[in-house]
């Protein structure tokens, strides 16, 4: 079964979801979906080096005769091919990096986006960032002080846990289900008031290249 993608249809569905949520709460939601949260060049080069080393061993111990010039050429060629292949494979990049590295990359990316997207500058400090990074299969939720003061801590932590679990399967429908649970919490503790300006775009920000 083919996995759902973050395409135009997903953007429209997520936009409608954010609009609906913001009619029930004073919180200001910003949704960001990124292909990855950092450079994984070191993983690409590591895979290239491993492949080149395997080729070198084959050339050295193969029963066939190779001209010495071909050894250097083949090793360099397979290093480049391996690095290029890894750069196009989320699976290889995950396998060649630690969970700690990936988690830190997502936390750093989310924190930077919180300020870059102006979420920290809402009038009543009611900004909420939902940040999904696909390669790392991780979701971060960052809320401003006004939100954290208004919600119940235990309920907030449960929602945070549920959304992070949803982030392990980065698909539009899974994310939408998680947002619906967040909407219930926001409407309960931070209901919409008369002064509820829309301070940020409702459409999610997709950075998928």
191 against 209, higher pLDDT: 191
Q: How confident is the model at residue 4 (pLDDT cuts 50, 70, 90)?
A: low
CB atoms < 10 A from the CB of 34, how many? Answer: 23
User: What six digits make up the tokens of 13?
Assistant: 């569905």
Q: How many angstroms separate the CA atoms of 111 and 125, rounded?
A: 16
3-state secondary structure of 6: coil
pLDDT of residue 2 exceeding 70, the answer is no
Contact assessment for residue 18 and residue 48, using Cβ atoms and an 8 Å cutoff = no
Q: How many angstroms separate the CA atoms of 183 and 70, rounded?
A: 62
Summarize the confidence of residues 100-125 as an average pLDDT.
Answer: 92
Summarize the confidence of residues 110-122 as an average pLDDT.
Answer: 91
pTM over 0.95: no
User: What six digits make up the tokens of 6?
Assistant: 């973050």
2 against 164, higher pLDDT: 164
Contact assessment for residue 198 and residue 126, using Cβ atoms and an 8 Å cutoff = no
Instruction: Note the pLDDT tens digit of each residue in 14-54.
Output: 999 999 999 999 999 999 999 999 999 999 999 999 999 99
Q: How confident is the model at residue 151 (pLDDT cuts 50, 70, 90)?
A: very high
Q: How many angstroms separate the CA atoms of 202 and 21, rounded?
A: 10
pLDDT of residue 196 exceeding 90, the answer is no
User: What six digits make up the tokens of 187?
Assistant: 């409407």
Q: What is Dmax (Cα atoms) for the chain? A: 82
Which pLDDT does position 195 carry in this prediction?
74
Residue indicated by tokens 């829309």: 198
Q: How many angstroms separate the CA atoms of 50 and 53, rounded?
A: 5
Residue indicated by tokens 């196009």: 88
Summarize the confidence of residues 130-136 as an average pLDDT.
Answer: 96
């Amino acid at each position: 079964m083919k996995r759902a993608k973050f395409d135009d249809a997903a953007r429209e569905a997520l936009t409608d979801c954010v609009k609906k949520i913001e009619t029930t709460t004073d919180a200001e939601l910003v949704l960001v979906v990124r292909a990855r949260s950092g450079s994984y060049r070191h993983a690409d080069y590591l895979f290239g080096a491993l492949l080149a080393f395997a080729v070198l061993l084959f050339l050295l111990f193969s029963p066939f005769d190779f001209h010495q010039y071909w050894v250097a050429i083949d090793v360099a060629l397979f290093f480049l091919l391996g690095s290029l292949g890894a750069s196009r494979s989320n699976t290889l990049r995950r396998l060649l990096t630690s969970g700690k590295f990936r988690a830190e990359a997502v936390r750093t990316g989310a924190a930077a986006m919180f300020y870059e997207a102006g979420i920290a500058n809402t009038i009543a400090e009611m900004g909420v960032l939902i940040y999904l990074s696909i390669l790392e299969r991780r979701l971060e939720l960052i809320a401003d002080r006004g939100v954290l003061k208004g919600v119940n801590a235990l309920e907030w932590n449960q929602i945070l846990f549920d959304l992070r679990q949803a982030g392990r399967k980065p698909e539009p429908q899974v994310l939408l289900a998680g947002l619906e649970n967040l909407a219930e919490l926001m409407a309960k503790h931070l209901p919409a008031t008369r002064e509820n300006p829309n301070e940020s775009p409702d459409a999610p920000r997709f950075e998928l290249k």
